[in-house]
Each structure stands twice: as C-alpha cells, then as structure tokens.
Amino acid sequence: MESGSIPLLIQPSDITNLKADEADFNRLIQQWKIGITEIIVQKAFALLGIHDDGSGIGKLKMYGGKIASFLTDTVRVYGAPKQLSDTQRALSKRLIADSSVNVYLDDLDRGWEGTKADIRKMSALLNAARDIAKDNPTVRFKIALRSDVYFLVRTSDESTDKIEGSVVWYSWTNHEILAMFAKRIETFFGKTAKEADLVKKSQGELALSLNKIMEGRFLGRGIWSDIPSYRMLMTLVRKRPRDLVKLCTLAARVPRNGRWTRSSHRTFKPSLKNTRKVEFKIRSTSIEPNYRISID
C-alpha cells in the first residue's frame, strides 16, 4: 500500500456479474466505466464500514463520476466516531485529508485465450480505467498484466497507445526472489526482516533462513547430487516468484511420515515427477516478463 492512499483491490470475482457486452466499442467502454466505478464505491464502503442499502450508490450519478468527492462527502455523513473502528476512523480521516485512492486490479487476465473478444474486453477495461482516472485526479489504477496479454492488446487496438507511457516494466532477479522467500520465512517465525538488508546478503546467508523449513542439502543425482537446497530451487526458478511458490507448494503437499519435519529431497522429488510439474518446468524455460500499468 502506498502511504497516504486508500487501497482497494479488484479481482476477477468482483467483475463476474458486470455486464459489458455492447457491440459498439465506445458504449462498451462506458459500461466498464459504470461497472468499475460502482465496484470501487462498494469496495470503499466495505473498507470504511459504511453500510449502504443501495441509496448511497444511487446518489453517485449526481456527482458525475467524481468518485473521490462522492466518497469524501459520504464519509462525512457516516463518519461519526461511534460508528467506526479505530482503523476505519483512521482511513476515513485519511480520505477526507487528500481524497487519494489507489485501485489495484490483479489477475484480470485469468482464462485469457487471446481471442478477439478477450482483446476487446481488455482494451475496453484499460480505456475505462484511463477515463476514470482522467475524471478523478486522486484516483490511481495499478493494473497487473502478463506481457503477452499487454502486447496483444497494444498491437491490436491503436487507442491503447495513450497508456503506453504509463507501462512500468516489472521484473525479478533470482536473488531478489530468494531474499523474498527468506523474508517470508522470518516473518512467519515472528522476526523482523528488512528487504534492503536481505538483498545485500549472499545466497548462502539467505539459505540459513530456508533451513528452518527445509533440509540444507538436496540429495539428488548428477549435478543435483548433494547440493545446497536453495541452489536446486534457484535452477528451477526462472525469475518468477510464482515458480518458487509452486515448487514449495507441491513439495508441502507430498504425504510424509512423522519423522519428516522439514521439506527435503523426499518431498521435492515426487513433485518433480508430477505431470503438471513437468509441464510447468517446460513452460518456464522461456522467461515471461511482467508489466504493471500505472494509470494516474
């Protein structure tokens, strides 16, 4: 979360019932604008503890799409101290102070097949987000897309050239992924770990954190014969955090007897033989860069 802004997350389940099927592209964009605007307001109401029977959102039309103004005025009405928790009161004060809202849209390319319908829908969504941000200077969109989705939309719809300057290249190094993994482990055990400090450490030093949940050596074969476990993981992680998550999740699901308290070659080997795992490794041979579109 960015300091001073109200964070709202929109996921695929939030737009399932959104009707956006107009044949005319401009009307399709308008449908997305209306739908996304209402979702933002509903999310904000839930976050701020505002109970709405439908009449609140009904008044939104009177504000001509000015989301921040509508939310600020609504908070002033519902924001009596006795009605809100300490967290909701703090968020309400923050919203009234600067009206800043960050809207995060994630995993919206789920089920993407690259069809004309997919491209058209994604293009309309991006245009709608841009229009909303234009009408609301304090409302900013952070949209996470796979690179293949972005390229296909960008090259198929000339109107998206207006957001090209807002695209942020986002990538990871394997060392950063290992540091992130170490931080996740340390925080699980209740310890504070600063990212900047972890990134400065060598991979051998970071491995000390990993050893809390997995054996230090991986007893494989060939080049994997008796090597540090972190090195085995790094050979399979193609600069994508999700690869590490999948590896560790599969290993954690392997049945184990009471003597195995940590992940080891006994748990990783079965997962590597899993058909889905093999397919995943093949797909991972090509590095998939990521983009984040920041519209504000």
> What sign for the dihedral angle of Cα 176, 106, 74, 52?
negative
pLDDT at residue 267, as a whole number: 63
220 pLDDT exceeds 80? no
- At 36, the pLDDT band (50, 70, 90 cuts) reads very high
| Pairwise CA distance, residues 251 & 262, whole Å | 10
| Pairwise CA distance, residues 131 & 295, whole Å | 10
- For residues 212-224, average pLDDT: 78
124 pLDDT exceeds 80? yes
- For residues 52-76, average pLDDT: 79
Return the residue matching tokens 């995993």. 107
Taking Cα atoms as reference points, which of 159, 162, 126 lies closest to residue 142? 126
Q: Would you say the pTM of this structure is higher than 0.85? A: no
Cβ-based burial of 152 (10 A; exposed 0-12, middle 13-18, buried ≥19):
middle
pLDDT at residue 285, as a whole number: 41
123 pLDDT exceeds 50? yes
- At 210, the pLDDT band (50, 70, 90 cuts) reads confident
pLDDT at residue 289, as a whole number: 46
Decide: 164 and 154 in contact? Cβ < 8 Å: yes
284 pLDDT exceeds 70? no
